[in-house]
Protein backbone atom coordinates (compact mmCIF):
# COMPACT_ATOMS: atom_id res chain seq x y z
CA UNK A 1 0.00 0.00 0.00
CA UNK A 2 2.78 2.36 0.93
CA UNK A 3 4.51 1.34 -2.31
CA UNK A 4 1.42 2.22 -4.28
CA UNK A 5 1.09 5.63 -2.68
CA UNK A 6 4.75 6.29 -3.30
CA UNK A 7 4.43 5.35 -6.94
CA UNK A 8 1.35 7.52 -7.34
CA UNK A 9 3.08 10.40 -5.63
CA UNK A 10 6.11 9.94 -7.85
CA UNK A 11 4.01 9.84 -10.98
CA UNK A 12 2.13 12.95 -9.87
CA UNK A 13 5.40 14.75 -9.16
CA UNK A 14 6.85 13.75 -12.53
CA UNK A 15 3.69 14.84 -14.26
CA UNK A 16 3.79 18.22 -12.54
CA UNK A 17 7.44 18.57 -13.49
CA UNK A 18 6.59 17.62 -17.05
CA UNK A 19 3.82 20.17 -17.19
CA UNK A 20 6.13 22.74 -15.74
CA UNK A 21 8.74 22.07 -18.43
CA UNK A 22 6.16 22.14 -21.21
CA UNK A 23 4.82 25.39 -19.77
CA UNK A 24 8.36 26.73 -19.55
CA UNK A 25 8.88 25.82 -23.22
CA UNK A 26 5.68 27.57 -24.23
CA UNK A 27 6.58 30.61 -22.13
CA UNK A 28 9.88 30.69 -24.05
CA UNK A 29 7.86 30.96 -27.25
CA UNK A 30 8.16 27.38 -28.50
CA UNK A 31 4.97 26.28 -30.19
CA UNK A 32 3.73 23.02 -31.72
CA UNK A 33 2.73 22.18 -35.27
CA UNK A 34 -1.02 21.89 -34.79
CA UNK A 35 -2.38 18.37 -34.74
CA UNK A 36 -5.90 19.29 -35.85
CA UNK A 37 -6.11 19.47 -39.63
CA UNK A 38 -8.25 22.63 -39.62
CA UNK A 39 -5.83 24.48 -37.34
CA UNK A 40 -2.82 23.34 -39.39
CA UNK A 41 -4.53 24.29 -42.64
CA UNK A 42 -5.30 27.75 -41.25
CA UNK A 43 -1.68 28.17 -40.20
CA UNK A 44 -0.07 27.17 -43.51
CA UNK A 45 -2.59 28.53 -46.01
CA UNK A 46 -2.02 31.87 -47.68
CA UNK A 47 -5.38 33.63 -48.27
CA UNK A 48 -3.84 35.43 -51.26
CA UNK A 49 -2.87 32.08 -52.81
CA UNK A 50 -5.36 29.71 -51.31
CA UNK A 51 -4.66 26.01 -51.24
CA UNK A 52 -6.60 23.22 -52.93
CA UNK A 53 -5.71 19.60 -53.70
CA UNK A 54 -5.22 20.27 -57.42
CA UNK A 55 -2.76 23.09 -56.77
CA UNK A 56 -0.80 20.90 -54.35
CA UNK A 57 -0.49 18.09 -56.89
CA UNK A 58 0.43 20.48 -59.70
CA UNK A 59 2.89 22.30 -57.47
CA UNK A 60 4.51 19.00 -56.60
CA UNK A 61 5.02 18.20 -60.28
CA UNK A 62 6.57 21.61 -60.95
CA UNK A 63 8.75 21.33 -57.83
CA UNK A 64 10.25 18.15 -59.29
CA UNK A 65 10.39 19.35 -62.92
CA UNK A 66 13.94 20.12 -64.10
CA UNK A 67 12.61 21.36 -67.43
CA UNK A 68 11.73 24.68 -65.79
CA UNK A 69 15.46 25.42 -65.57
CA UNK A 70 17.56 26.80 -68.42
CA UNK A 71 19.43 23.50 -68.76
CA UNK A 72 16.41 21.24 -68.12
CA UNK A 73 18.60 19.53 -65.51
CA UNK A 74 17.88 21.38 -62.26
CA UNK A 75 14.64 21.38 -60.30
CA UNK A 76 13.63 22.89 -56.96
CA UNK A 77 14.26 19.41 -55.57
CA UNK A 78 17.92 19.52 -56.66
CA UNK A 79 18.83 21.90 -53.82
CA UNK A 80 15.82 21.21 -51.59
CA UNK A 81 15.86 17.43 -51.86
CA UNK A 82 12.84 15.97 -50.06
CA UNK A 83 14.74 12.69 -49.63
CA UNK A 84 17.51 14.29 -47.56
CA UNK A 85 15.89 16.64 -45.08
CA UNK A 86 14.84 19.15 -47.74
CA UNK A 87 18.45 20.20 -48.46
CA UNK A 88 21.32 19.34 -50.81
CA UNK A 89 23.88 18.47 -48.15
CA UNK A 90 26.70 20.56 -49.64
CA UNK A 91 28.16 23.78 -48.20
CA UNK A 92 26.95 26.16 -50.92
CA UNK A 93 24.07 25.78 -53.38
CA UNK A 94 25.39 24.52 -56.73
CA UNK A 95 23.41 24.88 -59.92
CA UNK A 96 23.58 25.91 -63.57
CA UNK A 97 27.00 25.17 -65.08
CA UNK A 98 28.14 23.94 -61.66
CA UNK A 99 28.22 27.51 -60.43
CA UNK A 100 28.06 27.98 -56.67
CA UNK A 101 26.07 30.53 -54.74
CA UNK A 102 28.12 33.73 -55.12
CA UNK A 103 27.94 34.49 -51.37
CA UNK A 104 28.64 30.85 -50.54
CA UNK A 105 25.20 30.51 -49.00
CA UNK A 106 23.93 27.11 -47.89
CA UNK A 107 20.50 25.96 -49.16
CA UNK A 108 17.97 26.13 -46.30
CA UNK A 109 15.53 23.27 -45.88
CA UNK A 110 12.16 23.54 -47.56
CA UNK A 111 10.57 21.44 -44.81
CA UNK A 112 8.68 23.74 -42.41
CA UNK A 113 9.88 26.79 -44.35
CA UNK A 114 6.24 27.91 -44.26
CA UNK A 115 6.65 28.66 -40.55
CA UNK A 116 9.47 31.17 -41.06
CA UNK A 117 8.59 34.85 -40.74
CA UNK A 118 10.83 35.74 -43.71
CA UNK A 119 12.47 33.79 -46.58
CA UNK A 120 16.14 33.69 -47.69
CA UNK A 121 19.13 34.16 -45.37
CA UNK A 122 18.76 37.92 -45.65
CA UNK A 123 15.00 37.72 -45.16
CA UNK A 124 14.34 39.65 -48.34
CA UNK A 125 11.11 37.87 -49.21
CA UNK A 126 8.03 37.70 -47.03
CA UNK A 127 6.65 34.34 -48.10
CA UNK A 128 7.15 31.18 -50.15
CA UNK A 129 5.32 32.59 -53.16
CA UNK A 130 7.92 35.36 -53.46
CA UNK A 131 10.79 33.04 -52.55
CA UNK A 132 9.96 30.46 -55.23
CA UNK A 133 10.54 33.07 -57.94
CA UNK A 134 14.16 33.54 -56.86
CA UNK A 135 16.01 30.25 -57.45
CA UNK A 136 14.22 29.66 -60.75
CA UNK A 137 15.85 32.85 -62.06
CA UNK A 138 19.17 32.94 -60.18
CA UNK A 139 22.05 32.45 -62.66
CA UNK A 140 23.91 29.95 -60.43
CA UNK A 141 20.72 28.00 -59.68
CA UNK A 142 18.02 27.26 -62.30
CA UNK A 143 19.09 30.24 -64.43
CA UNK A 144 15.74 30.53 -66.21
CA UNK A 145 14.16 33.72 -67.48
CA UNK A 146 10.52 34.09 -66.38
CA UNK A 147 9.51 33.91 -70.06
CA UNK A 148 11.32 30.56 -70.35
CA UNK A 149 9.43 29.09 -67.40
CA UNK A 150 6.10 30.32 -68.76
CA UNK A 151 6.95 29.05 -72.26
CA UNK A 152 7.84 25.57 -71.00
CA UNK A 153 4.65 25.26 -68.98
CA UNK A 154 2.42 26.61 -71.75
CA UNK A 155 4.00 24.24 -74.31
CA UNK A 156 2.91 21.19 -72.31
CA UNK A 157 -0.85 20.61 -72.57
CA UNK A 158 -0.91 18.47 -69.42
CA UNK A 159 0.29 21.45 -67.39
CA UNK A 160 -2.06 23.97 -68.99
CA UNK A 161 -5.01 21.67 -68.30
CA UNK A 162 -3.91 21.19 -64.69
CA UNK A 163 -3.64 24.97 -64.11
CA UNK A 164 -7.06 25.57 -65.63
CA UNK A 165 -8.53 22.87 -63.44
CA UNK A 166 -6.77 24.03 -60.25
CA UNK A 167 -7.84 27.65 -60.77
CA UNK A 168 -11.27 26.87 -62.27
CA UNK A 169 -10.36 29.10 -65.18
CA UNK A 170 -10.80 27.47 -68.61
CA UNK A 171 -8.99 30.35 -70.34
CA UNK A 172 -5.95 30.46 -68.06
CA UNK A 173 -2.51 30.86 -69.64
CA UNK A 174 -0.21 30.20 -66.69
CA UNK A 175 2.41 32.88 -66.01
CA UNK A 176 5.76 32.68 -64.24
CA UNK A 177 4.05 33.99 -61.10
CA UNK A 178 1.39 31.27 -61.33
CA UNK A 179 4.14 28.63 -61.49
CA UNK A 180 5.83 30.06 -58.38
CA UNK A 181 2.46 30.27 -56.64
CA UNK A 182 1.56 26.59 -57.08
CA UNK A 183 5.06 25.50 -56.13
CA UNK A 184 4.60 27.56 -52.94
CA UNK A 185 1.26 25.87 -52.28
CA UNK A 186 2.98 22.47 -52.44
CA UNK A 187 5.77 23.72 -50.17
CA UNK A 188 3.17 24.88 -47.63
CA UNK A 189 2.23 21.22 -47.16
CA UNK A 190 5.82 20.20 -46.32
CA UNK A 191 5.53 20.26 -42.54
CA UNK A 192 6.98 17.58 -40.30
CA UNK A 193 5.29 17.04 -36.93
CA UNK A 194 7.59 15.40 -34.40
CA UNK A 195 7.51 13.92 -30.92
CA UNK A 196 8.25 17.39 -29.59
CA UNK A 197 4.89 18.57 -30.91
CA UNK A 198 3.14 15.72 -29.14
CA UNK A 199 4.95 16.70 -26.00
CA UNK A 200 3.92 20.34 -26.24
CA UNK A 201 0.43 19.11 -26.99
CA UNK A 202 0.28 17.44 -23.57
CA UNK A 203 1.69 13.94 -24.12
CA UNK A 204 4.33 13.74 -21.43
CA UNK A 205 5.69 10.38 -22.63
CA UNK A 206 6.44 11.70 -26.10
CA UNK A 207 9.89 12.83 -24.95
CA UNK A 208 12.34 10.69 -22.97
CA UNK A 209 14.06 11.81 -19.78
CA UNK A 210 17.26 12.80 -21.58
CA UNK A 211 15.38 14.72 -24.22
CA UNK A 212 13.49 16.66 -21.55
CA UNK A 213 16.75 17.46 -19.80
CA UNK A 214 18.06 18.71 -23.15
CA UNK A 215 14.98 20.86 -23.68
CA UNK A 216 15.48 22.38 -20.22
CA UNK A 217 19.13 23.16 -21.01
CA UNK A 218 18.10 24.55 -24.42
CA UNK A 219 15.67 26.96 -22.75
CA UNK A 220 17.75 27.89 -19.73
CA UNK A 221 20.90 28.59 -21.71
CA UNK A 222 18.92 31.05 -23.81
CA UNK A 223 18.76 29.23 -27.18
CA UNK A 224 15.07 30.11 -27.36
CA UNK A 225 15.91 33.80 -27.57
CA UNK A 226 16.38 33.14 -31.32
CA UNK A 227 15.16 29.57 -31.90
CA UNK A 228 11.53 29.94 -30.98
CA UNK A 229 8.01 29.76 -32.43
CA UNK A 230 6.63 26.85 -34.44
CA UNK A 231 9.73 26.81 -36.66
CA UNK A 232 12.07 26.77 -33.64
CA UNK A 233 13.71 29.58 -35.60
CA UNK A 234 12.60 31.46 -38.70
CA UNK A 235 12.96 35.05 -37.44
CA UNK A 236 15.67 37.68 -38.12
CA UNK A 237 18.51 38.19 -35.65
CA UNK A 238 21.99 39.71 -35.46
CA UNK A 239 24.67 37.16 -36.25
CA UNK A 240 28.01 38.06 -34.69
CA UNK A 241 29.61 34.96 -36.17
CA UNK A 242 30.23 37.04 -39.25
CA UNK A 243 33.47 38.90 -39.03
CA UNK A 244 34.73 36.44 -36.43
CA UNK A 245 36.36 33.03 -36.57
CA UNK A 246 37.53 31.24 -39.65
CA UNK A 247 34.01 31.22 -41.07
CA UNK A 248 34.45 34.82 -42.10
CA UNK A 249 36.82 33.55 -44.76
CA UNK A 250 33.99 31.91 -46.63
CA UNK A 251 31.69 34.11 -48.67
CA UNK A 252 30.87 37.77 -48.25
CA UNK A 253 27.34 37.55 -46.89
CA UNK A 254 26.45 40.38 -44.50
CA UNK A 255 22.76 39.79 -43.79
CA UNK A 256 20.04 42.34 -44.50
CA UNK A 257 20.38 46.13 -44.48
CA UNK A 258 20.56 46.03 -40.68
CA UNK A 259 22.99 43.11 -40.56
CA UNK A 260 20.22 40.73 -39.51
CA UNK A 261 20.28 37.10 -40.63
CA UNK A 262 17.45 34.55 -40.84
CA UNK A 263 17.53 32.10 -37.96
CA UNK A 264 17.39 28.57 -39.38
CA UNK A 265 14.66 26.25 -38.21
CA UNK A 266 15.98 23.56 -35.89
CA UNK A 267 13.34 21.06 -37.00
CA UNK A 268 15.15 18.10 -38.65
CA UNK A 269 18.46 19.85 -37.93
CA UNK A 270 20.06 16.44 -37.46
CA UNK A 271 19.37 15.76 -41.16
CA UNK A 272 20.44 19.09 -42.64
CA UNK A 273 24.22 19.37 -42.26
CA UNK A 274 26.34 21.28 -43.08
CA UNK A 275 25.38 24.15 -40.77
CA UNK A 276 25.32 27.96 -40.76
CA UNK A 277 24.68 30.35 -43.60
CA UNK A 278 27.94 29.34 -45.27
CA UNK A 279 27.69 25.60 -44.55
CA UNK A 280 31.10 25.39 -42.94
CA UNK A 281 30.33 23.15 -39.97
CA UNK A 282 29.38 19.49 -40.38
CA UNK A 283 29.10 18.46 -36.75
CA UNK A 284 25.92 19.36 -34.90
CA UNK A 285 27.78 19.33 -31.59
CA UNK A 286 30.33 21.80 -32.94
CA UNK A 287 27.54 24.02 -34.27
CA UNK A 288 25.85 24.05 -30.86
CA UNK A 289 29.07 25.06 -29.13
CA UNK A 290 29.78 27.82 -31.62
CA UNK A 291 26.28 29.19 -31.18
CA UNK A 292 26.71 29.23 -27.40
CA UNK A 293 29.95 31.11 -27.70
CA UNK A 294 29.08 33.59 -30.43
CA UNK A 295 25.40 34.22 -29.80
CA UNK A 296 25.05 33.71 -26.08
CA UNK A 297 28.58 34.48 -24.92
CA UNK A 298 28.80 31.23 -22.95
CA UNK A 299 30.97 28.17 -23.15
CA UNK A 300 28.76 25.07 -23.25
CA UNK A 301 30.31 22.00 -21.66
CA UNK A 302 30.49 18.72 -23.57
CA UNK A 303 27.68 17.43 -21.37
CA UNK A 304 25.44 20.45 -21.98
CA UNK A 305 26.18 20.28 -25.69
CA UNK A 306 25.32 16.59 -25.87
CA UNK A 307 22.15 17.21 -23.88
CA UNK A 308 21.00 19.96 -26.25
CA UNK A 309 21.81 17.72 -29.22
CA UNK A 310 19.69 14.94 -27.70
CA UNK A 311 16.76 17.34 -27.48
CA UNK A 312 17.31 18.63 -31.02
CA UNK A 313 17.07 15.10 -32.43
CA UNK A 314 13.54 14.87 -30.99
CA UNK A 315 12.67 17.56 -33.56
CA UNK A 316 13.25 15.08 -36.43
CA UNK A 317 9.74 14.97 -37.83
CA UNK A 318 7.60 12.73 -39.95
CA UNK A 319 7.88 13.73 -43.60
CA UNK A 320 4.74 13.85 -45.73
CA UNK A 321 4.45 10.92 -48.13
CA UNK A 322 5.24 12.01 -51.70
CA UNK A 323 4.45 9.89 -54.73
CA UNK A 324 7.23 10.58 -57.21
CA UNK A 325 5.35 12.25 -60.07
CA UNK A 326 5.04 11.33 -63.72
CA UNK A 327 5.52 14.64 -65.53
CA UNK A 328 3.54 15.42 -68.67
CA UNK A 329 5.67 14.96 -71.79
CA UNK A 330 7.27 17.83 -73.68
CA UNK A 331 6.02 18.75 -77.14
CA UNK A 332 7.70 20.08 -80.26
CA UNK A 333 6.79 23.56 -78.96
CA UNK A 334 8.78 23.15 -75.73
CA UNK A 335 11.91 25.33 -75.63
CA UNK A 336 15.09 23.27 -75.97
CA UNK A 337 17.47 23.03 -73.02
CA UNK A 338 20.42 25.39 -73.03
CA UNK A 339 23.34 23.98 -71.08
CA UNK A 340 25.53 27.05 -71.44
Catalytic-role residue among 54, 57, 129, 141: 141
Q: How far apart are CA 325 and CA 162, in angstroms?
A: 14
Q: How far apart are CA 206 and CA 227, in angstroms?
A: 21
Return phi, psi of residue 299, to 5°. -105, 110
Spell out, one character per residue from 12 to 51, where the chain touches a second copy: x when CB under 8 A holds, - when not: ----------------------------------------
Binding a second copy (rule: CB under 8 A), the pick from 14, 173, 282, 299 is: 282
Cβ(221)–Cβ(304) under 8 Å?
yes
Cβ(278)–Cβ(247) under 8 Å?
yes
Say how far residue 4 (Cα) sits from the centre of its chain: 47
73: contact with a second copy by CB under 8 A: yes
Binding a second copy (rule: CB under 8 A), the pick from 9, 12, 97, 298 is: 97
Residue among 89 and 259 whose Cβ is closer to a second copy: 89
337: contact with a second copy by CB under 8 A: yes
* Total Cβ atoms within 10 A of residue 163: 22
* DSSP-derived secondary structure for 148-182: HHHHHHHT-HHHHHHHHHHTT-TT----HHHHHHH
Q: How far apart are CA 314 and CA 209, in angstroms?
A: 12
Task: Based on the residue annotation, tell me whether 318 is a catalytic residue of this protein.
Answer: no
Shortest separation between residue 92's beta carbon and a second copy, angstroms: 9
Binding a second copy (rule: CB under 8 A), the pick from 29, 140, 222, 325 is: 325
Binding a second copy (rule: CB under 8 A), the pick from 85, 108, 251, 255 is: 85
Shortest separation between residue 91's beta carbon and a second copy, angstroms: 8
Shortest separation between residue 86's beta carbon and a second copy, angstroms: 11
326: contact with a second copy by CB under 8 A: yes
SS3 126: coil
283: contact with a second copy by CB under 8 A: yes
Binding a second copy (rule: CB under 8 A), the pick from 40, 90, 160, 296 is: 90
117: contact with a second copy by CB under 8 A: no
83: contact with a second copy by CB under 8 A: yes
Q: How far apart are CA 145 and CA 137, in angstroms?
A: 6
Task: Give whole-number Cα distances, 18 to 25, 160, 199, 202, in Å.
Answer: 11, 53, 9, 9
- Binding residues (CB under 8 A) for a second copy: these are 64-67, 71-73, 78, 81-85, 88-90, 94, 97-98, 100, 270-271, 273, 282-283, 319, 321-327, 329-330, 332, 336-337, 339
Report, as residue numbers or ranges, the catalytic residues. 141
Amino acid sequence: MIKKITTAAYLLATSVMADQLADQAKAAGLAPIPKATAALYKMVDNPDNSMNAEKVELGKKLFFDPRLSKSALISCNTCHNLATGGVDGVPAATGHMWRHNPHHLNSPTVYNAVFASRQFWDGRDPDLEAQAQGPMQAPPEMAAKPEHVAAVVNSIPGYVRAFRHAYSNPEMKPTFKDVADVIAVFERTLVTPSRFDEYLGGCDKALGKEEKAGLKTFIEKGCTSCHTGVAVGGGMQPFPLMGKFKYADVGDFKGDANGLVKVPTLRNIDETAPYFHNGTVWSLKEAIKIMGETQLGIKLSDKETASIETFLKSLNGEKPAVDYPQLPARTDATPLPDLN
